[in-house]
Amino acid sequence: MEDDSCNPPADDAESGEDHRPSWIDDWRPLAKHGAMALAAAAVVLVLWTSAQWLWAAAGPRDLRVSVQGCGVPMLSNGARVVLGTRQIGEVERVDDDHGEKLARLRIDHRHAEQLPANAEFEVDSLNEWLPGNVGIRVRSRAGSEGPRLAEGAGVTAVDRILPPVVPWKFYPLVGACLLAVMVLYRLAVRLEKILVFLIGVAVIVAGLMYLNGVVSPP
């Protein structure tokens, strides 16, 4: 009889046994399904983007209008164009036309039909809480039944007292935010829970972001 102790056991490669961690086999189906889901999402995104591009190319075109005059130098690229409290377009760019600032506007085609040829354009502060929200208000005169505003039209902004760069309500808002942060800090120290402070600050930031997007009524 042969002594087994003289014959060392075969190594893993010779025995054919697989000693990979079991979690690899457990996660392999999940990784496969995740990759398939990401591929499907990428295909949907490409199709959606292509459809939007085709619609923009073949569908109704937005209205382009140029505005010059009072307050136009205060505008910046991307500034909002509003009718009432609804955004209907934006400032695409501000050019220098023979030493005078000229704002190029893009009006959404869904709202272009609401603008008569005699519509008034006015540079104004669109938000009474936070700075950096100077834009253009469009005022459609009551009873305007004439022709609509034409593509490429040039209009002059209404002469008016220019809005302040920083609205007056910004200052009490800053004071209220600082007071709220101090109260949250004291509360977090007392409860010994920093999470309370972080959640409170996140709520304040979310509130400021919401206010920044609000268009104040004219």
Concatenated DSSP letters for 42-109? HHHHHHHHHHHHHHHHHSPPPEEEEEEETTGGG--TT-EEEETTEEEEEEEEEEEETTEEEEEEEE-H
Q: Are both 132 and 38 inside the same structural domain?
A: no
Q: Are both 112 and 186 inside the same structural domain?
A: yes
Q: Three-class SS of residue 197? A: helix
pTM of the shown model: 0.65
What pLDDT is attached to residue 162? 82
Query: How many distinct structural domains can be found in the chain?
Result: 2
Domain of residue 35: give its range.
Answer: 21-51
CB contact at 8 A, 200 and 192: no
Q: Are both 202 and 130 inside the same structural domain?
A: yes
Please give the Cα distance from 111 to 77 (Å, whole number).
Answer: 20
Backbone angles phi, psi at 73, to 5 degrees: -60, -20
What pLDDT is attached to residue 25? 62
Tell me the per-residue pLDDT of 81-106, one tens digit each, with 9 for 90 and over. Answer: 999 889 999 999 999 888 889 999 99
Q: Does the residue 41 lie in any domain?
A: yes
Q: Are both 196 and 106 inside the same structural domain?
A: yes
Under the banding of pLDDT at 50, 70 and 90, the label for residue 142 is low
